[in-house]
Amino acid sequence: MFWDPRIERMPEKELEEYQERKLKALIFRVYNHSPFYRKRLKEAGINPWDFSGLRDLTKLPFTKKQDLRDTYPTGMFSVPISQVVRFHASSGTTGKPTVVGYTANDIDMWVECLCRGLVSCGVSREDVVQISYGYGLFTGGLGFHYAAEKVGATVLPTSAGNTARQIELMKDLKTTVIACTPSYMLYLSEYAYKTGVDLKETNLKRGIFGAEPWSEETRKRIEEKTGIDAYDVYGTSELSGPLFTECTEKCGIHIWADHFLVEIIDPKTGEQVGEGEKGELVVTTLSKEALPLIRWRTGDITILENEKCACGRTHPRIMRILGRADDMIIVRGVNVFPSQIEHVLMQIPEVGEHYLIILDREENGLDVMTIQVELSEKAEIDKVSDILELEKRIAEKLKSVLNVTAKVEVVNPGTLQRFEGKAKRVIDRRKI
């Protein structure tokens, strides 16, 4: 299914020409209306009248989250506040919050992009969409809400939390699609099972999960436990919340290139990497008015694929997010993302879905990584010797796949904390 087949199947050359025109227009617009970007462009020696478009893309300076914090709250805006119809903001847990403004056209573009994504996942006006992302300053809930309504689906705005009520409404109102974090979906399915509800016997058919990195193995776990099709969604609060999704082929997240120009760079050097190579996702917003972003460094690590998808969409795709550059764990010189550890754990049948990574530093200065992981409720293990053998097997698997040494502690089901939203997977006590 397509929301806008003319755009979604646009020939590659035509799409590139479209990006060329919009990129040139963007540079003129920010130069004339944004003191922040005018200063940046002048420092980079870029004159809008001489800017040749895509060929000069790498000459443009990067923008980062620190720029938003340094210009807090609205110093990077390119329109007067009288044209801003909505604000969203990040939590600001690691510094100043990042404030994002939207014009009416920005909201329309955001909704349009997510409509394409929802339809590519198979959502239609026949669906009841339960939105279990938070509403408010966080962009997740409202983004899905507006898009699902525009698609014509029936929206159930449950927001995050109150899991018993979520399950009750899911059953009574016959929810067919759920949108939430993957960790919350695992918790919700676990809670349902303990209260005698089999999600496979409900009307739930598909789920659209994001806001945190998750592995392909976790997708398999969710699908096996619930009987639904699980799809990945990507977006950031700075770009416009949830924007891009997989299609029913499940072979990458479609980036709508008529509105967003993407690159993959080496996080250390800032140089572009080749197609199929892992690196940091960089995005230039071609259509945003209130807060345009030029070569925005998302911090997310992924791979870019430009080949036409089997679904017929011609826009580029990014592969599953491996993690954030600033979330990477460095243990004794080895770089590891939590999602890579998850990928290994979820391949072991005796292991449950919940885990915690704890980082400590010994008196001799060496790092120690401990991974606490719950035993699967289906695992038939009751002897201490069997638990010790399982811990040894997990540690050996991690060592062979990731080249990292970890102490593994298998704990009883239900031991680790659950989260009705984003899961907390890492506790780094080395900084204390």
Helix (H, G, I), strand (E, B) or coil at 1: coil
3-state percent breakdown (helix, strand, coil) of the chain, nearest 5: 35, 25, 40
Please state, as a whole number, how many other Cβ atoms lie within 10 Å of the Cβ of residue 284: 21
For the chain, the straight-line distance linking the first and the last C-alpha, in angstroms and rounded, comes to 51
Class at the top of the CATH hierarchy for domain 328-431? alpha beta
Which tokens is 51 given? Answer: 């800017």
Cβ pair 390, 421 in contact under 8 A: no
Q: What is the pLDDT of residue 93?
A: 46
DSSP 319: P
What CA–CA distance (Å, rounded) separates 139 from 86? 11
3-state secondary structure 46-76: CCCCCCCCHHHHHHCCCECHHHHHHCCCCCC
Helix 182-194 with 163-172: angle, nearest 10 deg: 80
State residue 339's pLDDT score. Answer: 85
The whole-number pLDDT of residue 309 equals 97
So what's the pLDDT on residue 432?
55
Whether residue 339 contacts residue 218, with contact meaning beta carbons closer than 8 Å, is answered with: no
Q: CA Rg, the chain, in Å? A: 22
Q: Closest Cα partner for 181 from 357, 425, 414, 412?
A: 425
Domain boundaries, the chain: 1-325, 328-431
DSSP conformational letter for 135: P
Classify 1-325 by CATH class. Answer: alpha beta
Q: Say if strands 367-375 and 351-361 run parallel, antiparallel, or are unpaired.
A: antiparallel
Quickly count helices (H) and strands (E) in the chain: 11, 20
Task: Decide: helix, strand or coil at residue 81.
Answer: helix
pLDDT by residue for the chain (432 residues), tens only, comes to 999 999 999 999 999 999 999 999 999 999 999 999 999 999 999 999 999 999 999 999 999 999 999 999 999 999 999 999 999 998 654 467 899 999 999 999 999 999 999 999 999 999 999 999 999 998 999 999 999 999 999 999 999 889 999 999 999 999 999 999 999 999 999 999 999 999 999 999 999 999 888 899 999 999 999 999 999 999 998 999 999 999 999 999 999 999 999 999 999 999 999 989 999 999 999 999 999 999 999 999 999 999 999 999 999 999 999 888 777 888 887 888 888 899 999 999 999 999 999 999 887 778 899 999 999 988 888 789 999 999 999 999 999 988 889 999 999 999 999 988 788 899 998 865
d(CA 113, CA 149): 13
Distance in angstroms (rounded) separating the CA atoms of residues 54 and 57 = 5
Residue in this structure with the two tokens 């997989």, named with its chain if needed? 246
Please tell me what DSSP assigns to residue 172. Answer: H
Torsional sign, CA 25, 26, 30, 36: negative
Say what the pTM is. Answer: 0.88
